[in-house]
Amino acid sequence: MSRFREPQHQDFQRLNASLSFDRRLWPYDIAQSRAHAKMLARVKIISEQDRDALVGGLDEVEGELREERFPFQESDEDIHMAIERRLTEIVGAVGGRLHTARSRNDQVATDVALYTRARAREAKAAIEGLMAELVRRAEEHVDWPMPGYTHLQRAQPVYLAHHLLAYFWMLARDRQRFVFVEGQLSRLPLGAGALAGVSFETDRDFIARELGFDAPAPNSIDAVSNRDFVLDYLSAAATCATHLSRLGAEIVLWCSSEFGFCELPDAWSAGSSIMPQKKNPDAAELLRAKAPRVAGHLAAMHGVLHGLPLTYNKDMQEDKEHLFDAVDTLELALAAARGMVAGVVFDRERMAQAASDEMIAATDVADLLVRRGMPFREAHGVVAGLVRTAVDSGRALSALSAEELAAQSELLDSDEARADYYKVLERESWIESKVSEGGTALARVREQLDEARAVLTDAPGA
């Protein structure tokens, strides 16, 4: 029986159906139905025989889904209806008892929560894999000098390890964000019913334990309306994807002949259809381009939820494609980043060469004047004068004469001052001068590596 006299319009059915994308929720739908059936028998809402029939039937349905022989039908609106329909075909009328004390509203909220929790854990593990790879590559290149950049202009030299570890710390924060996402998934929606609770004395604690939640959600209205955890996942994913896009962008630059700092392994490179000499960093470019897609899903999800009256509204079905595509995109991006970081080959000579431009030591010359009592702003001006003199005459800073030094500042007009000046301009001294905590001097990078290893081994949020 139905209250409707006319069938649904075909286009409405197409608009309404979510099966094409929500079928990936099946493992969670089966798990929650199993827990729900057990609970119903525990509190004597159904008999033990009925429970056994339901659980046995769910096992069969699960097998069909796992082996991809589940007979989906045109008329299945979503995965929840499909599973219940099939269960009833298998076990008969008792299948209709499963939905006692449950609504699709608390059901779908629970499935999506379980799914999000599983993917947040997966993201955390994948991030850790990439962090470990960065530490390994940093250890291998601990004292390889390269230019550090601002505005994509050579600024100050750093060690490659220092640069690689910058990504490690971004990812460490990303990992924390996914720990937070998991924490937002500690309360069980199931048992909220359509919105107001159900008219049976159910045992929500039992289901919470079965499904790994800390406790039932305290408010049935909030339980079925809440999709904050989707926003939280998307937000964490968008930030992480943004970090990976910066990594991708640097790989693209560094692999160019102009930089020549590194070469990607063949497994992560593409050829050109017309230029046989080319080796293109397509994977790194895609890493760069995927971030806005994930951020777009976050923005879209804010759009779906904003202004929605409580409680469940069909709008919320739109959470899934945004979430699922973000999950797929992030997981693939993390795998690609790991593959590229693991296999990229750096060119020590090219990097050292690029870092040997003396101009890069200009700040150190200014610091030398500061140590002799000059205020930094003034020293900055003096060194700018030296740089202008050198650039105008096509010479290096170390090639300036005693007279030229003296012309810029009397603090540079003594044998001792000149000796310090030429010393500061010797290659290793610039990079090793950055001795402050968190700086690039080798001893500090080694300290940083120790800290990174420690961060990697302690389980966050545990």
> Which residues here bind ligand ARG, judged by CB under 6 A?
18, 22, 78, 104-105, 108, 312, 314, 316-317
**Which is nearest to 61 in space by CA: 38, 86, 81, 97?**
86
Shortest approach of ligand ARG to residue 447 CB, angstroms?
A: 50
C-beta closer to ligand ARG: residue 229 or 312:
312
Catalytic residue chosen out of the listed positions 47, 256, 272, 356: 272
Distance CA 72, CA 83 (A): 9
Which residue is associated with the tokens 């045109």?
74
- Is 272 designated active site? yes
Distance of CA 420 to the CA centre of its chain: 47
C-beta closer to ligand ARG: residue 230 or 445:
230
DSSP string, 106-164: HHHHHHHHHHHHHHHHHHHHHHHHHHHHHHHHHHHTTT-EEEEEETTEEEEEEEHHHHH
C-beta closer to ligand ARG: residue 115 or 312:
312
Extract the tokens encoding 26: 């099946």
Dihedral sign (CA 170, 174, 179, 181): positive
Give the number of other CB atoms < 10 A from CB of residue 377: 9
Shortest approach of ligand ARG to residue 318 CB, angstroms?
A: 8
C-beta closer to ligand ARG: residue 178 or 312:
312
C-beta closer to ligand ARG: residue 316 or 417:
316
Distance CA 358, CA 379 (A): 17
Shortest approach of ligand ARG to residue 65 CB, angstroms?
A: 17
Extract the tokens encoding 144: 């390889």
- Which run of H or E residues covers position 295? helix 282-305
Distance CA 274, CA 276 (A): 6
- Measured CA to CA in angstroms, residue 253 lies from 130, 262, 309, 436 at distances of 21, 9, 48, 29
C-beta closer to ligand ARG: residue 31 or 333:
31
For residue 149, the cross-strand partners are 154
Shortest approach of ligand ARG to residue 196 CB, angstroms?
A: 13
Catalytic residue chosen out of the listed positions 151, 257, 273, 306: 151
Give the angle 434-435-438 at the CA atoms, nearest 5°: 90
* CB half-sphere exposure, 265, CA atoms < 13 A: 11
Given the DSSP bridges, would you call strands 215-216 and 187-188 parallel, antiparallel or unpaired?
parallel
Shortest approach of ligand ARG to residue 22 CB, angstroms?
A: 6
C-beta closer to ligand ARG: residue 194 or 374:
194
For residue 458, the cross-strand partners are none
Shortest approach of ligand ARG to residue 38 CB, angstroms?
A: 23
Which residue is associated with the tokens 């996942």?
233
- Which positions are annotated as active-site residues? 151, 272
